[in-house]
Amino acid sequence: MRSWFPFFLLALTTIARVSNAEYTGTECNPINKTCSADPALGTEHTWLFNSTIDSELWDMKTGTLDYTSEGAEFTIQTENASTLLVSNFYIFFGVMEAHIKMAKGAGIISSVILQSDDLDEIDWEWVGYNTSGVQSNFFGKGNTTTSDRGGYHAVANADTEFHNYTTYWDKDRLEWWIDGDLMRTVKYSEPLAVYGKNYPQTPCQVKVSNWPVGVKGQSQGNLDWGGGLVDWSDVPFTMTVSKIRVQDFSTGKEYKYTGHTGTYESIEVVSGNSTAQTQLDKEPAKTLSQKWDDLGSGAHIGVYCGAAVVGALLIGAFVFYCLKQRRSGRLQRALNDGAYSAELTTLEESKLRWRQSELRSKGSYQAVP
């Protein structure tokens, strides 16, 4: 045990330094600060990931999505690349149902989690070397003192078949379901949740990520967890999401932390229609042919004549637009690249810290001299 304690500390401080240095300041932990309210989902919705998802409601922080008829692919294309999708909305207790195929490959982690601003967290995690299992976990306020909370569940062909991974979360209990079977329950009042103190209970965002833990410089413990170094000659590594259903058990406009306790009693549900609800209620845009039919025949003739003139103008405008897009595309990529590390560390830091503490408590790992 003692022999590798310094190793743990070293790894921890390394991670802490990285995350502090790259901290963007856009995030705010309500335990120590006064933060703006969290926008609520306030309703239930299923997002199909076989066509572009609404960027008002979801933010692709890192990487890009490739859409296919079966879902959105989160792909690691190049060495050290990563992907992260975060909902712009929060749920204050509820259900998260994700249908996914994990990414296969040593050192690659697929994850779908609920995470709050004060680092309450409910996880599904797939380690890429094991395509017949998934891990469940939870955290309260990012507390990694002990690491006895992980669950291990068998699931067949997790990389080639979609399965239904559902988290049910209310103020009394947490449940993890796979394909309609209840795999695990944790109660607010049980010792594992420190009688509520370590129980996730603040408004959470949905975060979906495919990322590499098996990179050089990573601690041996984390490498072991992920199944060793990533073999970069095996790219691409792809996780596919076909759909995600999210149900918010609260209804309202937003969620506000009153005080700094981080208990569910301290969360104020601000009433009103949520931005997400308003966005979802928007009528789907009419198709072009519907609009055409709405016009009279006189209008049709006018449109034909006008079209010749407009066509000429459009070509000019289009060329201008393309030039501009090329520039903003490059800028966007540069911005994304810059955001990479900062966004990544908030999600991954807790995992990495947890792995360290797991190893510390088990004492099974011997530091490499």
Ligand X SMILES: *[C@@H]1O[C@H](CO)[C@@H](O)[C@H](O)[C@H]1NC(C)=O
Instruction: State the Cα–Cα distance between residues 1 and 19, nearest whole angstrom.
Output: 27
- Told to judge if 56 belongs to the known catalytic residues of this protein, a careful annotator would answer no
Position 233 contacts ligand X (CB under 6 A): no
Question: Which one of 22, 44, 121, 358 is the catalytic residue?
Answer: 121
Nearest residue to ligand X, using CB? Answer: 133
Task: Draw the binding track, 198-217, toward ligand X (x: CB under 6 A; -: no contact).
Answer: x----------------xxx
By CB under 6 A, residue 130 contacts ligand X: yes
Which among 43-51, 104-112, 290-298, 305-313 is the span making contact with ligand X, rule CB under 6 A?
Answer: 43-51
Q: How far is the CB of 141 from ligand X (least distance, A)?
A: 6
* CA 110 to each of CA 130, 224, 341, 361: distance values in angstroms, whole numbers, following the listed order: 11, 16, 17, 25
Q: Tell whether residue 48 is a contact of ligand X (CB under 6 A).
A: yes
Q: In what order do the strands lie in the sheet with 38-39?
A: 38-39, 254-257, 267-270
Q: Which of 194, 270, 307, 314 binds ligand X (CB under 6 A)?
A: 194
Under the binding rule (CB under 6 A), the answer on residue 339 touching ligand X is no
45, 171, 173, 177: residue in contact with ligand X (rule CB under 6 A): 177
- For ligand X, the closer CB: 130 or 210: 130
Applying CB under 6 A, does 189 fall inside the site for ligand X?
A: no
Both tokens of residue 146?
């002990």
Residues 139 and 115: beta-carbon distance below 8 Å: no
Burial 326-359 (b: 16+ CB within 10 A, else e): eeeeeeeeeeeeebbbbbbbbbbbbbbbbbbbbb
Residue 279: which region, alpha, beta or left (left: phi > 0; alpha: psi -120 to 50)?
Answer: alpha
- The verdict on whether 121 is a catalytic residue reads yes
Residues 148 to 167 in contact with ligand X, rule: CB under 6 A? 152-154, 164, 166
Residue 195 within binding range of ligand X, rule CB under 6 A: no
CB 32 within 8 A of CB 260: yes
**Which span sits near ligand X by CB under 6 A: 7-15, 44-52, 81-89, 301-309?**
44-52
Contacting ligand X within 279-338 (CB under 6 A): none
Both tokens of 78, joined, read 């190049």
Contact criterion met (CB below 8 Å) for 198 and 143: yes
Q: Which of 237, 208, 233 is nearest to 75 (CA)?
A: 237
Query: Minimum CB separation from ligand X for residue 331, in Å?
Result: 22
* Residue 69 C-beta: closest distance to ligand X, Å: 5
Q: What is the 3-state secondary structure (H, E, C) of 299-365?
A: HHHHHHHHHHHHHHHHHHHHHHHHHHHHHHHHHHHHHHHHHHHHHHHHHHHHHHHHHHHHHHHHCCC
Q: Residue count at the site for ligand X (CB under 6 A)?
A: 31
Stretch that binds ligand X, among 107-115, 126-134, 303-311, 324-332 (CB under 6 A): 126-134
- End-to-end CA gap in the chain: 15
Residues forming the active site: 121, 125
> Under the rule (CB under 6 A), what is the footprint of ligand X?
29, 31-32, 48, 50-51, 69, 79-80, 97, 130, 132-133, 143, 145-146, 152-154, 164, 166, 177, 180, 194, 197-198, 215-217, 272-273
